Structure formats: structure tokens, C-alpha cells
Amino acid sequence: MDEFVDRPPPRVRVPDRPGADDPGSGRRIGIDVGSVRIGVASSDPGGVLATPVETVARSKAKGGAAEDVLRVASIVAEYEAVEIVIGLPRTLRGESGSAVKAAEGFARALGRHVSGVPIRMADERLTTVSATRALRDSGVRGKSQRAVIDQAAAVAILQAWLDERSARLNAPESTDSTPSEEQCRIPEVGE
């Protein structure tokens, strides 16, 4: 009987929409936050193509500015990024777990060091799986794969963002479907 009780849904972080509040042209940085490593990718200045940048080891330090946060902040500055896209690792059912909390915590910490650069959260379900498959298919295996898997996942996160951003920004302007006053006018009898 308890299974039919109406319960509020669990708190779920909704990903940001590419193209919303768009900062314009410039490089974007994509980030895949893992428990051991952080993958970093960058786009070209036109925001068309994502490429791998670096794998940053996670810091174990609690509180203060951790080395991983400072390194990623320096990459953001070096590339003069106009936007940061961090993967939001929700479950396949779209729920938030400990990995989402870690990504959000990293985003908050990074935000304290990159003021003025918007940080967006993007749905990254299955990016590591697809990155692993792509690396395996290209012949990269074992330790070599571990060294670049996080960069490949960051590339997948950022490329998906760039593609959706481009589609939204290049979509034809939506027409206002609200009828004009003239269209709403009821004709007089005999018109």
C-alpha cells in the first residue's frame, strides 16, 4: 500500500540549455569531473570543434583552494574562455547522486576563481562509456586509455554542448503565434 503514496520527486539538478544567455564567440572549456581525474577540453574560438587539453589529477585537500581547482582555473585563464561547461553525471533515470554533488561542488569551487566566466552544467550521461568505446575502437587500450579517457569524456561533453548551441543559435527565429489585432477582429455583419 505504501508504494502508492504520493511522494515528492527527489531533488534533481536540471542541466543548463546551450545557447541560453550565450556569451557570444570565444573558446569554451569542457570539464569531466571524476573521482580520481578531471578531463579538460577546449573549443576553437568559433565554438565549433572540441579538442582535448589535459587530464588533471584530483586533489585530496579539503577546504581552501585545491590544486585541481587552481589548475583548471589557470587553463580557463590561459585559453581566455568565455564559458565553462561541466558534465552533470546524472543516472540513466535522470536522478542525482554523489557524482552530481561532486560536480556541483567542483563548479562552486571553480566559480570562486573564474569570476565573470559563466559555468554551465550539461547532461553527460554515457559520455565516459562512449569515450571508452571510441578509444578502444581506435586501438587505445589499458593504461594508455586511462590517461586520456577523462579528456575524451570532456571532449564529448563539450562537443555535444557546442552542437546543441549551434543548432539553437542557428534555428530560424520562432514566429509569434499570437494573432494580431486585425486577425482577431470579428467582421461586422455585411462585411
Instruction: Give the CATH number for residue 95.
Output: 3.30.420.140
Q: Is residue 190 part of a domain?
A: no
Angle between helices 98-111 and 67-78 (to 10 degrees): 60
Confidence of residue 168 (pLDDT cuts 50, 70, 90): confident
Q: Is residue 22 part of a domain?
A: no
H or E element in which residue 166 lies: helix 142-170
Range of the structural domain that residue 46 is part of = 28-169
Give the chain's domain count: 1
pLDDT attached to residue 99: 84
Q: With pLDDT > 70 as the criterion, what percentage of the chain qualifies? A: 64
Name the DSSP letter for residue 2: G
Answer whether residue 182 shows pLDDT above 60.
Answer: no
Q: Which of 111, 91, 110, 92 is nearest to 100 (CA)?
A: 91
User: Rounded mean pLDDT of the chain?
Assistant: 79
Answer whether residue 96 shows pLDDT above 80.
Answer: no
Q: Is residue 183 part of a domain?
A: no
pLDDT attached to residue 158: 95
Q: Is residue 175 part of a domain?
A: no
Which of 10-14, 57-61, 83-87, 130-134 shows the lowest per-residue confidence on average (mean pLDDT)? 10-14
Q: Which of 46, 28, 16 is nearest to 154 (CA)?
A: 28
Cβ 88 vs Cβ 15: under 8 Å: yes
